[in-house]
Amino acid sequence: MSHLTVSPIKILDLAALRSAAASFGAQFAEKKTFTSYTGSNNKCDYVIALPHVGYEVGVIRDKAGHYVLSHDPFGDDGCGRHDGHKLVAKFGVGLQKLQQAYAVQVVTRQAKAKGWLVNQRVMPNGSVKLQLIQA
């Protein structure tokens, strides 16, 4: 039985993904498998791992050469070793918070590379507003 989901975002900048993961206190590492309900036999190229969480997010290169994110959200506090819910709690349903942090990193890096200043504000609903100012 598999509970794996794949996020729709295409990752093009691994450095930005590494920074986004770090903003959650997660580790980004090169690894060939990631852990889910089915064990640690899910193929990947990199993993995003949270301290004290058994399940990981797999970063997988697709046929087009982009990377996608896969994870298993299964579990709750009564499920023992099944702690995919901890990934959901930290990264959001469907990894939306992680995807948002990645997008912020990409825009910020590109803007700064062009000499722009970037102001970031987290809105009450959790969304992020970026203001780009030409320097």
User: pLDDT digit string (tens) for 62-119?
Assistant: 999 999 999 999 888 766 678 899 999 999 999 999 999 999 999 999 999 999 999 9
CA dist., res. 92 & res. 57, Å (int): 12
Tokens standing for residue 73: 């959200």
Averaged pLDDT for residues 37-42 = 89
Query: How many other CB atoms are there within 10 angstroms of residue 99's CB atom?
Result: 19
Between helices 96-113 and 84-91, what is the axis angle to 10°? 40
**pLDDT band for position 60 (50/70/90)?**
very high
Give this prediction's pTM.
0.91
Looking at residue 123, its pLDDT comes to 94
Can you tell me whether residue 129 is helix, strand or coil? Answer: strand
Q: Which residue has the higher pLDDT, 129 or 75?
A: 129
